[in-house]
């Protein structure tokens, strides 16, 4: 079981219940309200792994695009 509090504490950014954590591949995103829903995005915005549906993926990519300036070291453009 995912430790939601730990993920939230270690997240680089939280937007509307989604925790964004940077890693070597790009960015891990976890829905804190539904911890079974997660995705890994490359630095170019490509989905590498996911348990989210297409609509939710577009939502988290949109949140990242609008708020990436608040994440240190996130230079890539997310499409």
Per residue in 43-63, pLDDT (tens digit) is: 899 999 999 999 999 999 999
Residue 79, pLDDT > 60, answer no
- Report the SS3 class of residue 72: coil
Residue 28, pLDDT > 80, answer yes
Residue 71, pLDDT > 90, answer no
Residue closest to 2 by CA, chosen among 48, 51, 64:
51
Confidence at 73, pLDDT banded by 50, 70, 90:
low
How many percent of the chain have pLDDT more than 70?
90
E strand segments, the chain: 13-15, 18-22, 26-31, 38-42, 47-50
Size (the chain), residues = 79
In this prediction, residues 18-32 reach a mean pLDDT of 95
């Amino acid at each position: 079981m995912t430790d939601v509090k730990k993920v939230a504490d270690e997240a680089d950014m939280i937007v509307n219940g989604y925790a964004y954590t940077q890693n070597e591949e790009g960015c891990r995103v976890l829905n804190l309200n539904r911890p079974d829903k997660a995705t890994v995005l490359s630095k170019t915005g490509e989905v590498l792994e996911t348990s989210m549906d297409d609509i939710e993926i577009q939502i988290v990519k949109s949140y990242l695009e609008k708020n990436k300036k608040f994440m240190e070291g996130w230079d890539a453009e997310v499409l």
